[in-house]
Structure formats: C-alpha cells, structure tokens
Structure 1
Amino acid sequence: MTTKITYTLQGDYLLPDLKLPEQPKVEIGIWGKRHLRYLEKHHPIIYTNLLTSCKLTAYLADIDKQAEDMFFRLVNQLAKQEGVTEQLKSENQMLWVRKMNNIRNRAEEIVNDGIIYQ
C-alpha cells in the first residue's frame, strides 16, 4: 500500500499536508467537554497524544459516562442520607428545592474534583 504525500508551499518551505483519520461520532456531554477544556489548558501533551492516536473521542465519552454515573449516584445517596424525599417535595417545595440544589452543587464539586480535573 502506498500513500501519496502532498505538500503545500508556505513561504519558502514545502510542508506536508497532514490529516488525522476520522474519529467516530460520539455525543460528548457536559462532563466530557469540561474534561476536554481541562486537558487542552493544563495537559496539552496528553491531549495531543490522545488526539493523534484517535483515542480522544472514546476517552472523553468514557469520562463523561463515569462522571454522569457518579453524579447521579451521589445525588441519590445524599438525598436519601439527608431525608430529601418526594413527601418533603409535596409538603414544602421551597425547602426541597434548596436542599436539592445544595446536594447537586456538592455532588458536582465531588465529581469535578474526583474525575474531571484530575
């Protein structure tokens, strides 16, 4: 199998036209996108290695799934632990909303610290 290399003139230099193979189309959620921004900014070598080896999309999809599972598990555990139930929701909606917002914020911080910004 032969590959034909093409070049483009940039100033006085001929540079090869390099293209990465197509990566699979996978929907990346908010957790995966956050981790992507973190990698680009703080770990550019890891980002470049994943990108050039065509593993970035699969890696981000895996991170997204792990983070989402952890987030929902934490929200459910904390709500159960603190007695935030559907009964409380029907009796005092504002208290339920305050408690659930607090729980979701804590769970998000735990996921960010444990998975996203690692």
Structure 2
Amino acid sequence: MEQSIFEKMGGTYIKVGDYYVPNLGQFDDKEETDDRPLGKYGMIRETFLKEHRKPLYNHLLLSGELHSHLRDVNEQSQYLLDTLLPQYKANQGVTEELKASKQLLWVGMVNNILAQIEEIIYSEIVYV
C-alpha cells in the first residue's frame, strides 16, 4: 500500500478551505486564562525585549511564555516597590506628621524615594 503525501511529510494536517496546512497546535491555554494585569513594568520589559533582546523575545513569544513572563516581571517589580517604599520612608524620616505639616517637602521626598526604587527595579529586574 502506498503512503499518502501527508504521511511521507510527517506531522498532522488540517484542511483550511481547499488547502491542507500543518497543524502546529495551540499555544498553552495558560496564556488565555492568565488574567493578571500586564502593568507598567511588564510593558517596559516587553519594549526592552523587542528592542534589545530580540532572540529572547522571539523564544518567549513562540513558546507561548511571553505574557506569563511579562506578568511575572510586573509582579516581582511591584512586590519590590511595595517592600522597599515603607523601609525607605522610615529611613529618611518621611512620616505622616511631615505630610501634614510640609506637604510639598513630603511629596518631593516620596518622589525621590520612588525614583531610587525604580532605578533598582530597572537595573535588577526589567533591563536584565
């Protein structure tokens, strides 16, 4: 018995219209059910990967792990921000009393702390 052309080529094929195309399968369903937000740091990481780490970006995209990776980066970054912010505020004397008495000074100090923490996040998590 003679093998069909599809058996010789290997793999499975599906009929789309008048043509048979390789059945490449579906990406992991985890992508579709992952409802965590992408967030600021995830979007920055995606842009960085597209522009500076193209092979890694393509690998994550083709393996179906890109969105999960970006959401993980965002969660790690947000966790670090939430952990360091109270520590830095305590170390630099940024209190609620300062907020009540000198609001502009408090805002300036908090913005400075946020900038310091974001530099850590970018250098340790996002731009790696």
Question: What is the TM-score normalised by the length of structure 1?
Answer: 0.82
What amino acid sits opposite 2:57 in the alignment? Y
Matched position secondary structure for 2:14: coil
**Deviation digits for residues 42-98 of structure 1 (CA, Å, limit 9, x no counterpart):** 111111111111011111111100001111212211101011011110111111111
In structure 1, stretches of 5+ residues that fail to align are 7-14
Matches within 5 A, 1:1-118: 2-4=12-14, 21=27, 23-24=31-32, 25-26=34-35, 27-118=37-128
Q: Where in structure 1 do 4 or more consecutive aligned residues deviate above 3 Å? A: 15-23
In the alignment of these two chains, the number of paired residues is 111
TM-score relative to the length of structure 2: 0.76
Structure 2 residue runs of 5 or longer lacking an equivalent are 1-10
Q: Which has the larger radius of gyration?
A: 2
RMSD of Structure 2 on Structure 1 (CA): 2.5
